[in-house]
Structure 1
Amino acid sequence: MQSNNPVFRRSEAFNGAGATAYGNQTYPGNGAAYPGYGQQTPSGYDQQYAPTGAGERMTIDSVVQKTGLSLAIVFLTAAVTWFMTGDIRTSEDNLGTLYLALMVGSFGAFGLSMVNSFKRVVSPPLVIAFAALEGVALGAFSKLIDAMFVNESGLGNNLVLQAVIGTFAAFAGTLAAYKFFEIKVGQKFRTFVIAAMFGMVALGLLEFVLGMFGNAIGFLGFGGLGLLFSVAGLVLGVFMLILDFDFVEQGIAAGIEERESWRAAFAITVSLVWIYTNLLRILAILQQD
């Protein structure tokens, strides 16, 4: 079965040789032992498709390590951006620098996300570069939101910290629900999530272009329509995580190459960033009300 997810569809490991292995119902999903921990490969997995070279396969550990590294880079570059742009409430130059960082980080990360999504052979340097640029964008965006919404004492309302905690809570909750409730991902669900994701990206780009001419609709604003758009984005981000968990589980069961851990790390990072940005906007909108 070929994936509709553009991140995984370009992977020969997911959709090529190992497709038979994880396209049927013979993989040990939902809590069963994975290959890579001393277990046998799932029935139906042809040994001729075992990874060549070093012979290492993707495991839970390798996915966690690569994802942890990707997120650490996001956090690091976000923190550097936050502190290097200075106090934007007292200097217009600092505000200009912050907007520049936001634009460079956002468009750079978006461009690399497209490259990584449709690249057939996953490139660890490009995944790392994406994480770095995404961190720059998130650092600038977070600082801008923090400066926009302050309390009566002139201090921030810890919206960024709340959004970070909420993002990891969403990750943990989604993972727990996926495992404990044995969520099954069907083809219709995959199609819906991917179509909705591209639809929201298209609407966001349309809003940005219209905003340049003073005709913004309000999808990216802080009004009622912006709140609805962010809530829908938050729910969609949770659905994206479910797809990520499903592909990682099936890929491990099929014994795909260890380098595909970078593709999984990229996908999970995208989903977490998606959740964080929408959650931060929701908190900001509710704060002003």
Structure 2
Amino acid sequence: MQSNNPVFARSEGFNGKGGTAYADFGVGVPATHTGAGTGRMTVDTVVQKTGITLGVLVLAAAVTWIGTGDVVASDGLSIDPGKAQTLYTLSMIGAFGGFILAMVNSFKRATSPALVVAYAALEGVFIGAMSKVFQLSFGPGVVTGAVLGTVAAVAGTLAAYKFFDIQVGAKFRTWVIAAMFGFVAVSLLDMLLGFFGNSFGFNGFGPMGLLSSVLGLGLGVLMLILDFDFVERGVAAGLPERESWRAAFGLTVTIVWIYIELLRILAIFTRR
């Protein structure tokens, strides 16, 4: 079945064309496909590569957070304008740099581990700078809550996918991907209009912003289900181990998406 996910569409194995071996996250997988170092992509190799990308992301975020130092102004209440500008600049570099590498990784036929790790590092810079601003603006609980919520969302979705044996059909896949692109398009439109003072609040912290973040969080969970399905198809197709990096990249993109939406939701409720 053809994949509509741009992250996985470049790989035939993620579309069920690479082989006939069956895999169900460790259940019924032939012995030749169950361990790392066999030359095949397995659940273990995907977990390992995802751990590396998320580790790089967290490290880059921590370095950004710590490296920017104390950004509180001398009054002890507001953020120093100069340091705030530094955080804003870093977040923009991370966001746009990460977006460019995300596009390259999504449409590149040959998986490049270096580009995947570079994407994780840039996203870490973005996450670190943005999270620090949110914590200073909305209180220390928003970042901790978003991190714990993201872990819970990933674990809960994986458990539901596995234990409820969720089947991903073509229509479900098509609608989720279409909704994702629609969501991104509306978000970019609101950002563009914001430059001219005509934002309709899609990216804001009002009722529309809350609605968009709730929708975004729901989309993130659905995208995570697609990610698990694509990994399962890739393992079943007997893809080479290097494709584990493509799977790790797709999972990292979705996890970052979920974290950002949760951070915005918590910030909105705290602001109220």
TM over 0.5: yes
1:108-149 CA deviation, whole Å, 9 max, x = no partner? 001111111111111101000000000001111111111111
- The answer as to whether partners of 2:13 and 2:233 remain within 8 angstroms in 1 is no
- The answer as to whether partners of 1:33 and 1:39 remain within 8 angstroms in 2 is no
Counterpart position of 1:10: 10
Aligned to 1:127, the other structure's residue is in SS state helix
Q: Within 2, Cα distance between the matches of 1:224 and 1:180? A: 35
Matching residue within 110, 114, 127 for 1:125: 114
Aligned to 1:9, the other structure's residue is in SS state coil
The aligned runs of 1:149-164 (5 Å cut-off) are 149-150=138-139, 156=140, 158-164=141-147
Counterpart position of 1:71: 54
Mean CA deviation greater in 99-108 or 197-206: 197-206
Counterpart position of 2:77: none
Aligned to 2:234, the other structure's residue is in SS state helix
Aligned to 2:8, the other structure's residue is in SS state helix
- The answer as to whether partners of 1:34 and 1:59 remain within 8 angstroms in 2 is no
Aligned to 1:215, the other structure's residue is in SS state coil
Counterpart position of 2:24: 29
Counterpart position of 2:94: 105
Matching residue within 221, 232, 236 for 1:249: 232
1:247-288 CA deviation, whole Å, 9 max, x = no partner? 111111111110000000000000100000000100010111
1:66-95 CA deviation, whole Å, 9 max, x = no partner? 000000011011111111122233122211
The aligned runs of 1:224-235 (5 Å cut-off) are 224-235=207-218
- The answer as to whether partners of 2:13 and 2:19 remain within 8 angstroms in 1 is no
1:195-233 CA deviation, whole Å, 9 max, x = no partner? 111111111111111111111110110000000000000
The aligned runs of 1:1-289 (5 Å cut-off) are 1-15=1-15, 19=17, 21=19, 27-29=22-24, 32-35=27-30, 37-38=31-32, 56-90=39-73, 91-150=80-139, 156=140, 158-289=141-272
Aligned residues: 264
TM-superposed CA distance for 1:31, in Å, is 6.0
Q: Within 1, Cα distance between the matches of 2:19 and 2:39? A: 17
- The answer as to whether partners of 2:213 and 2:261 remain within 8 angstroms in 1 is yes
CA shift in 2, pair 1:216/1:88, >3 Å: farther
Q: Within 1, Cα distance between the matches of 2:25 and 2:45? A: 19
TM-superposed CA distance for 1:39, in Å, is 6.1
- The answer as to whether partners of 1:30 and 1:182 remain within 8 angstroms in 2 is no
Q: Within 2, Cα distance between the matches of 1:254 and 1:166? A: 33
TM-superposed CA distance for 1:7, in Å, is 0.7
CA shift in 2, pair 1:248/1:263, >3 Å: same
Aligned residues: CA RMSD? 1.8
Segments of 5+ residues of structure 1 without an aligned counterpart are 41-53, 151-155
- The answer as to whether partners of 1:11 and 1:122 remain within 8 angstroms in 2 is no
- The answer as to whether partners of 2:50 and 2:249 remain within 8 angstroms in 1 is yes
Q: Within 2, Cα distance between the matches of 1:86 and 1:31? A: 45
Q: Within 2, Cα distance between the matches of 1:208 and 1:135? A: 22
- The answer as to whether partners of 2:187 and 2:202 remain within 8 angstroms in 1 is yes
- The answer as to whether partners of 2:18 and 2:239 remain within 8 angstroms in 1 is no
% identity of equivalent residues:
61
TM-superposed CA distance for 1:28, in Å, is 4.1
Aligned to 1:7, the other structure's residue is in SS state coil
State the TM-score, normalizing by the size of structure 1.
0.87
State the TM-score, normalizing by the size of structure 2.
0.92
- The answer as to whether partners of 2:41 and 2:242 remain within 8 angstroms in 1 is yes
